[in-house]
Structure 1
Amino acid sequence: MPVRQAVLRNARTDRRTPRAANTTEHQARLASRLTARDRWLVAMLHEHRVLTGDQIAALAFPTARAARARLRNLWCWSVLDRFQPVLARGTAPMHYLLGPAGATVLATGHGLDTTDLGYRRNRTLGIAHSLRLAHTIGCNQLLTDLATHGHLRAWWSEQRCARSIGDLARPDAYAHWATPHGELAFHLEYDTGTEALGKLAAKLAGYHDLARATGQTTALLFWFPSTHRETHARRTLHRTWTEMAEPGLLPIATASREAPHPAADAWLPLETSGPRRPLDQLPHTWPHLTPAPPDGESPPTSTNPALPPPPPQPPTMHPRAR
């Protein structure tokens, strides 16, 4: 379960120099040491900034023990950095970031320099003290929950959305979910319960303007920390939504963390009072949605940033390499 920002204290950041320096010789050794899954994880950490050890284990490893052993090696090789937040109660999992050797591996794999990635180690480690750490981890937990269900085809980070979609709207993620029963492309607003509901509703105007400017009708999903918060937010959102010139351009559904799973019967369209629906059934509620782009293609609003988004699921590993 995601941790609230209010209970986080100063993080224990591992500032010791990793055992391996990021030299040319070290990069040559990494060429034979890194697996396809390691390289996928490097790309994921560049895209999503920080993942906990538990999230990485769920996404890419058969057991938590296997994940811990491999993550320790990747940290020792400077491929990853790590820190551990201090909680008022209990113990937080280790949090992993892109390390200097990992940034070099990622950049050279795409014919770039690390400067082209915008990578700076001090700035990357700065998320350990960010007031948005809980928001980022919570959003990435939703990614993990959907990806481990096996049908998440794309998940863009908040930073990629900001670069690619433009100034009209700033979603916390863009995703493409698909099952044999239906598929849905959507923008996500991940709510932690700290934002005023009026400010939350004010974001709808930007999404409405985005739909008008692009001619694309894309669902907007709100994920709330509790059904209590969701109930109050829906009233405010519905009032703002009905006052729009063309509310049909902005299909909205809400759900909360109290749902058994974000892919299950969790979602309630804003224009109805029930019942809740699975994620893959929402397209049947809104038949006028613009079809999701094929796998590997970007939404029409994309300006094609330097690196493509990594797939949410890791590459298949040989049983002996797992």
Structure 2
Amino acid sequence: MNAPFQDSRPSGEKLPLSVLIAAPRGFCAGVDRAIEIVEKAIEKYGAPVYVRHEIVHNRYVVEGLKEKGAIFVEELDEVPDDMPVVFSAHGVPKSVPAEAERREMIYVDATCPLVSKVHRQAERQIEKGKHIIFIGHAGHPEVIGTMGQVPEGQMTLVETVDDVGKLPFGQDEKISFLTQTTLSVDDTAEIVNALKVRYPNIVAPKAEDICYATSNRQEAVKAMAPGCDLVLVIGAPNSSNSLRLVEVAERLGTTSHLIQRASEIDPAWLDGIGTVGITAGASAPEVLVREVVAKLAEWRDVREEKIRTAEEKMVFKLPRQLTD
């Protein structure tokens, strides 16, 4: 971490502030796709279009879609039979589209394709007679959706290494594991290692379930945080991948704050600070990054530098019903 910045400028003159901006940051391909699905659904079916759960975990994005004609609800029973509904990027239990079909509703599934990949893996493991250990955060919509892909009782959630030690299965039982896509890469590696030690024959997914965007944003923070006195993470408090970015910075010894908008920045955070790092979770649009930089520039003489650790070119296709 840099040495604390000392004020040696004449009174009234802005102190310099180095601002390091992580790249990649912000929207991932799954979020881009989900937002476009809602916008296209409104174009095709007309407003209003209902959305079950926040399409992505970002208030700014949700409010923008509300202005265009989206109505957000938590459960399907809040949607009239004759209105189209979009399922969020986090995925839903199988019971939700089944209920929509029973009610003969028009529905569009905006589940991120990388989450859908985990769903298909879960189905295949159950077909092979395996019990699934699922690494994730209890109550998160993605976890609820994934656990809802298999019959009740055939998937067990673990959140920590300690949870692994409490599992009731013997070493000879047929078990496999899968993970939520937005976890801490380092924490998950520890849990996976504990599972493999306890269950040497456990079946792993063919490829890591943590998505490319989550991994890339954590790597960018790892590269940026050691050179910062403070890291600001733009994201929602219910955004798993954003919370993980705060943790990554803090573990490297750099103070970090999660903010939703620039208005949440406390000017006192900049006292004695010479370098601030900025990143954004996968649901946070770039306009909020620029808003934060502009706010910092009100107080300090900002000098920007980008810290890039990867290039992202992933694009996901829209559902056929919106492109035909």
Higher relative contact order (CA 8 A, sep 6+): 2
Q: TM-score by structure 1 length? A: 0.29
Q: TM-score by structure 2 length? A: 0.29
- Structure of higher CA gyration radius: 2
